Amino acid sequence: MSLATPQARTAGLSRIGQQLLPILYQHRLVATGQLHRLLTPHTRRPVYLLRQLGYLRSMGLAESTDRRVSQMGRCELLWYLTPLGYEVVEASDEVTARAYRISPRAAASQLQEHTLAVVETGIAFSEWAGRLGDECGSLDWEPELAHRVRDGDSRLGDDAFLVPDAVLRYTRTTPEGRRQLLTFFLEIDRATMQVARLGRKLGTYARYASYTPQPTGRRQQASTREAWRERYPAFPRLLIVLSGAPDRVLKRRVEDLQALASANLGGTQGSQLRAGITTAELLYRHGPFAPIFTPVSGNAEPTDVLLTPHAEPGTRK
């Protein structure tokens, strides 16, 4: 039965049910276990959460599919919004409207694992923020935000846009009580992308750091400010998180990326780009403020998420 307004459609939802909708809207496809860690970590099993997800499905707002690659031999449901669910969230104006809509076919496709890995990385930051007294909530990372890096008309397959896997915002509380907003570009590499392709994307990040829009159409005066300054208070640090392969393979990927960066990011083009590489395992185990990141270029000494050398585990600068 279709109700008259989006407000009427969500009137009977619990607090958890209302939280689920914007999370599924923003992150597109989320596993039951991931939703449990985000919304009901205080409970041992997600019984109530599953009841609310089932209620969303009965209302025609959400749907689920099976995970293609089972975890520890168990089947896990992955959840996404229906067209009606997208309509309800957009009417509420809780999150930034996005043009992308995940279809049942895409939800069941081989794209599952990469989408879930992006969510998993965001959850790692969120959980460590809770332990450290910082802030990084379930909506503080946004997948695939486009950033123009070239003037002119955009065409499919060209390099007019930089699209990070996610942009993550993290609010840190310093020992002096100051609140520091940190912004990161996230690239999640499950050892499936060619290293050369990832290396080319490093070059795209470097171009975005210096990209200044030129006059087009009626705009006659060229901008004197880099485009990123309209969106960020400081140029975001780039974090590359590796997974999906044995440690020796990931170590080679780190070395290959460093070699590509040394060859392609020399001089002023890469001067504003601060990039570091770590593994998903190190991030989950030690947290972002431990020295787990290897700089892509320059000093290879491990550092923390701030990409400043000589960081010590657990220290706050």
Domain shared by 23 and 123, yes or no? no
- Single-letter amino acid code for the residue at 34: Q
Domain shared by 98 and 136, yes or no? no
Structure-block tokens of residue 243: 């997974």
Structure-block tokens of residue 201: 């994307």
Residue 150 resides in a domain: yes
- Single-letter amino acid code for the residue at 189: D
Q: Which of 107, 134, 163 is the last residue of a domain?
A: 107
Residue 24 resides in a domain: yes
Q: Which domain holds residue 246?
A: 112-295
Residue 184 resides in a domain: yes
Kindly tell me the sign of the dihedral angle through the C-alpha atoms of 122, 202, 193, 106: positive
Which residue is associated with the tokens 């997600």?
46
CATH of the domain at 93: 1.10.10.10
Domain shared by 54 and 124, yes or no? no
pTM of the shown model: 0.89
**37-62 as b/e, with b when 16 or more CB fall inside 10 Å?**
bbbbeeeeebeebeebbebbeebebb
Please list, in sequence order, all residues whose beta carbon lies within 8 angstroms of the beta carbon of residue 72, skipping any fewer than 6 positions away.
Answer: none
Please list, in sequence order, all residues whose beta carbon lies within 8 angstroms of the beta carbon of residue 5, skipping any fewer than 6 positions away.
Answer: 91
Domain shared by 134 and 268, yes or no? yes
Which residue, 282, 317, 290, is CA-closest to 176? 317
Domain shared by 116 and 242, yes or no? yes
Domain shared by 101 and 120, yes or no? no
Domain shared by 154 and 255, yes or no? yes
- The pLDDT tens digits along the chain (317 residues) read 444 465 556 667 899 999 999 999 999 999 999 999 999 999 999 999 999 999 999 999 999 999 976 555 568 999 999 999 999 999 988 888 988 899 999 999 999 999 999 999 999 999 999 999 999 999 999 999 999 998 765 554 457 899 999 999 999 998 888 889 999 999 999 988 888 888 889 989 999 999 998 766 555 565 678 999 999 999 999 999 999 889 999 999 999 988 888 877 765 455 678 999 999 999 999 999 999 999 998 777 899 999 986 544 444 54
- Number of domains within the chain: 2
